[in-house]
Amino acid sequence: MEMEMPSVAALAGARLLGEIEETNLDEILYALRIAIDPDAPTNKSKHPKSYPVPGLDDLVQRNFRATKSAPLAVTGRQLLLVYALVSALLSHPHNKTVLILDTEHRFDATRILGDPDDLRHAYVHRPARRSTTVDSRSGGSGGGGGSSIGAEQIRELVAAAENWMLYGGHHSGAREWWGTIVIGALGAGDVTAAWKGWLRVDREYVPGFSLGCSATEAVKDRQQRQEAVEAASWAASSQWGSFTFTESHSSTTTPDARDPRQSKRVTGTDR
């Protein structure tokens, strides 16, 4: 049977239809937000993930309802909360797999608490540091680390690492992959631990010596005060509220936004 050849107009119409890319309003708004602010997180989750550190999940939910931004952005003494979060995610009953992209080479895997079999499911990727020569030419500080990595490069690194988590030959295939934690840079990841964030981590306040304390009394009480400082919990505070935690995850939650110096003082253990 002889086939009828399409007309020139039909061919042109088919070509135009083939060039049309289907999208929706959410994707258009997302692309516009990234164009305006390259440091904007790329996580497009409709709902935030679960964060199994007591008090943290509630603040993440509050931030999401107010800002529609799912990622957790931590600043201050960020690594302490990262260690607590990773320890909880890897351990029973969660038993997740976690990817850590450490652009500053500061993440210490020995601070993760848990069974050695669980620790095998934390994957730490450290991008190569840029040389001093390269940094000086680009106007950087020359100190290496994540400060010289731009948002676009971070997105590329995260995409490559996440692709490996999905399709690579690792030994965590039987576990659910929770997500990606980026240390030292902004722009991608389910958690960012960097110089900017909506949740700040500091050590809980420990009262100093009294005004009428003599030098002799100060020397006598120095050891006791040092022990109190070392035993103090960590305070995570935001405009949505605050909570305290230790690396063993005990906490006290303060649901109302307030000055962290006015939060309830608790003591705990710190490694």
Question: Does residue 25 lie within any of the structural domains?
Answer: no
Instruction: Kindly report the average pLDDT of the chain as a whole number.
Output: 74
DSSP characters over 116-154:
HHHHTTEEEE-PPPPPHHHHHHTT--SS-SGGG--HHHH
Question: Does residue 271 lie within any of the structural domains?
Answer: no
User: Which of 194, 268, 262, 253 is closest to 60 using CA atoms?
Assistant: 253
**What does the pLDDT average to over 134-146?**
39
**What does the pLDDT average to over 50-54?**
93
Output the pLDDT for position 212: 60
Domain count of the chain?
Answer: 1
Output the pLDDT for position 240: 92
Res. 161: pLDDT tops 70: yes
Question: Does residue 13 lie within any of the structural domains?
Answer: no
Q: What is the rounded distance in angstroms from the CA atom of residue 186 to the CA atom of residue 197?
A: 9
**What does the pLDDT average to over 46-70?**
89
Dihedral sign, Cα of residue 156, residue 60, residue 270, residue 194: positive
Q: How far is CA 19 from CA 9, 13, 15, in A?
A: 16, 10, 6
Output the pLDDT for position 103: 94
Question: Does residue 8 lie within any of the structural domains?
Answer: no
Residue, of 226 and 97, whose pLDDT is higher: 97
**What does the pLDDT average to over 222-230?**
57
Residue 223: its H or E element: helix 215-231
Domain that includes residue 131, residue range: 35-262
Res. 252: pLDDT tops 70: no
Tokens of 162: 């996440």
Res. 233: pLDDT tops 70: yes
